[in-house]
Structures are given as structure tokens and as C-alpha cells.
Amino acid sequence: MKMNNNISIEKNSEHSTVARQPSRGTGSKGLDIIFENEKFIAVNKPSGVLTIPDRHNESIPSLYKTVQEKYEKIFIVHRLDKDTSGIILFAKDEVNHKYLSQLFEQRSVEKYYLGIIQGTLQDKMGIVEEPIAEHPVHKGMMAVDKKGKPSITEYEVQEEYAIYSLVKLRIHTGRTHQIRVHMKHIGHPIACDELYGDPKAILLSSFKKKFKLSRHDEEERPLISRLALHSYQLKFKDFDNKDQDLIAEMPKDMRALLQQLKKNRN
């Protein structure tokens, strides 16, 4: 099954084949609002931020709290892992909350991610269909397990750089850590994944020949030091049966890594 449109690395590139970029709203308190109407808003969540408040420590910042400060009454529709960046939907009333939540539960939302994985895949397109369950030993982790819940991840390679690859992924189910577990299972974990791969930050010196540290810097700053996974696109029909195609631009750190990999490919 071939997924639509390739991904452009450069910001606002004229070579981008993305069909459309939704109008962006005006953010407040650090909110990056991708789209807003009278029924829902779509926010681009940064990596490292919880989607909802921590059950044990509500003083930890969360995207829900930040959105709530601006809109007061707001309803969370779905979640992303703390370390994953990208699109999160919030409903503005109970009717749209119920409708949008049902779309996710019924798998009527097309969910696309961008991930930078370790190495290169032999098959440039494929489907990983392996059940996932809680890890039998390590609390907070998941694992492929024949007794787990059915889980389907579709992937398509966008760019290859020998040591890393940019992959577009579509999840047909929504299991915890699904993409991370499936990529580890096929031997190509997401870059900088502290649970399922190599947690080390990626330095330019690790792949650039004759790298020299700038005389202004005392130590090298990493290109990226967080999970290289981004919720890129959501496609669905809203309450009024209108097609919604929402896109969250690739974060700066992921773009910076890809640009350097491209520049130093040979």
C-alpha cells in the first residue's frame, strides 16, 4: 500500500510535494496552533512536554494545562508520548469531543508520522503487523508479544543516509509506543530512543569527516538529543463532513539533522 506524498526536508521548500499547509493561528504562552475553528483546535506539541497532567505530580507542565489557560473549557481527544512532537487535537465542546474521539476509536483518522531511524531498510516500503503488550519485565515499556493486541504500522522510506533514514509511517492501530516497538522489532529503532534504541544524542562529529569545533564553542552541541519521531499529519472528516488535512511542520532539530546528513552523505 503506497502512502501519499513524499516529505521535503527544507522549511517551506518550493520542492515540497505536500498538498496543502493549513493556515496557522496565533499562538499564546508558547502554543503553536496549526489550525482552529469553532469546533476544535490542532496544536503542534513540542517534544519533552506531557500531553495531559502527570497523575502523581500536577506541577509538571503539560500541553493540556497550557491550552486550558487560553480556552478555559477544552477537551483532549487523543495523546502523544512525552518525547514525541506533533499534532494534538482538542475539542471545544462535548459534542465535538465525542465525535472526534469516536473517529480515533473507530480508526477513521489517517495518522502519519515522520521518524529518523537507525540504518537503512532493505524493503523501502512495508507493513509491520505484530501484536504488542506490556513488557513482561520492564515497567513502562512495551514489547512484541504473540498474546498482545493486534498492531499495524505501515512505513515508506523517504530519504537514506547510510547510517540513518527518514521514514514516513502510518499507524492503523494506536498502541502505546507502537512505532518505537515495531521499528525496534525490525532492527531499525528510532534515533535517540532511550527505551528501545540508542539514547545518545547525535553529534555532527559522529559522521562528518574532518569535523572541527568552532572556536566560539567550548564543547560540541548535539544536532538532536530527543526521540526523532514527529506526528506529522492527520486526515479525517469533521462533524460537518468536511475533509480536514492537518500538517505539523517538521521540527527544527530534525530538519537540522537531516540537512547535515544530506550534506555529508558521501
d(CA 5, CA 16): 9
Largest CA distance in the chain: 59
d(CA 62, CA 78): 14
d(CA 16, CA 100): 29
C-alpha cell read off for 231: 506526528
Per DSSP, what are the bridge partners of residue 171? 153
- DSSP code, position 261: H
- Cβ atoms of 154 and 257 closer than 8 Å: no
Which residue among 32, 54, 81, 240 is the active-site one? 81
Cα angle: 77, vertex 81, 85; to 5 degrees: 90
Amino acid at 22: P
- Report the sign of the C-alpha dihedral through residues 116, 109, 196, 124, in that order: negative
C-alpha cell read off for 255: 530538519
Q: Strand locations in 130-266, DSSP E?
A: 132-134, 142-144, 152-160, 164-171, 229-237, 243-247
C-alpha cell read off for 224: 538532536
Amino acid at 175: R
Say whether 54 is catalytic. Answer: no
Q: Residues with catalytic annotation?
A: 81
